[in-house]
Structure 1
Amino acid sequence: MTNPAPDASRLQWRLLQEADLQSMYGLHLLSIAGMAAQAVKPETREFMLSLLQGRGRVIGAWHEDALVAYGVLQHDLLEHDDPRSLLGLTAAQPVCKLAGAAVDPGWRGQGLQRALIRRRMDCAPRDAALFATAAPCNLPSWHNLLACGFAVRALQYLYGGHARYLLALLPQEQAVSLRPEAEVCVELDNGELPQQQALLMQGWRGTAVGMAAGSLRLVTTVKGR
């Protein structure tokens, strides 16, 4: 006899507190088990505790007494993590980072990653620029962010030299769907990162999943057409 599929509609959502540290850290380890450093960055208990003590807010979904998903919205950023220069923002622009999420393997396929993104968007200050990083090889991570309105704005090499997309959603882009006058688009797979980086440095943006598996559709605005 097979177990019934989990029912995400029965989850209880709340902000995590310091007392939830062990549940949060345990779920983090469970969610990244078997994943390479190229795809995901392992976090420490100390970092998670700092979030729960005020460096951010952590939204959690509970089933009975078990934490089955969480997402981090971080506002207290270290200097090396500040994306303002890459995004062309002033030093006064508030920024918040979607700084990691985890879903229990038994609860995957229920749309919880996108629910976590949207709940963190709702929790963020209305004038904040939102950003996240995602490994090009971690397709579900950046696919979900793109589906929630984020765009790839840069390609960085972080956490020991591993490739990471910088995805962002700026305040003026959250209220309306921006449509340029005309677009030129190209699709490049994640084996063509140098070509992607060259276009991103010229102002192109990755806005959608490409037709081929693992590919990113990049667009640029052509004015006057």
Structure 2
Amino acid sequence: MRLDTTYTVNTPEGIALTLSPASPIPRLLAWLLDLLLRSGISLALLLLLASLGKLGLGIAMILIFLLEWFYPVYFELRHRGQTPGKKVLNLYVTHTDASPITPAGSLVRNLLRVVDFLPFLYGFGLISMMLNRRFQRLGDLAANTVVLHCHAPHVPEIPLDAASIRPDVRLTLAEQQAILLFAQRSATLAPARLEELARMTGALVPPHQNATQWLQGIAVWLGGGSKA
């Protein structure tokens, strides 16, 4: 059983997302895996460039410096917030509102690792993680980022009991996507909220019809259901 806590953020659509911050233990294991990989790459660089003498050693040291500082930045930005170590441990970095990490956020959180490392062995970073419920080290607090456990998102299916309804108007691709998303998330919203959102479609729903069921019917039709 994990000792992690959870917190909730609300999306613009009114969906409540429950996020699970990673505690120090899995983060330490991910860091150790990344450290092992970086060390292997660094050793390979030294061996390959040592034959060039002092010039080769100088080039190797520059490359190792860049590897140490920009290895996590590269992977966080190019691989959805996951370094190889985090991928193995099923973790990823994101902003606290669950939005994808930005270049500025990744740079800030990683450049401040030097502060987290003080006075030794990530002492300040560990103290910071233990003092806040999202387990954020000082770099995370400065960048407004958090390390989360990956959970396969559960996307509810379109209700099977909804009758297929062909809309009277031509729908754009964006409108079709919005209706399908509405139907898929129906199980996560209260009936009153569903009806409120469905009524925002205006003339798409006839005045005396149940707006929620009508949109769900259109979603069934868009998903390949038989025509009404």
TM over 0.5: no
Name the structure where helix makes up a greater proportion of residues: 2
TM-score (normalizing by structure 1): 0.25
When the two structures are superposed, what TM-score results if normalisation uses the length of structure 2? 0.24
Bigger-Rg structure (1/2) = 2
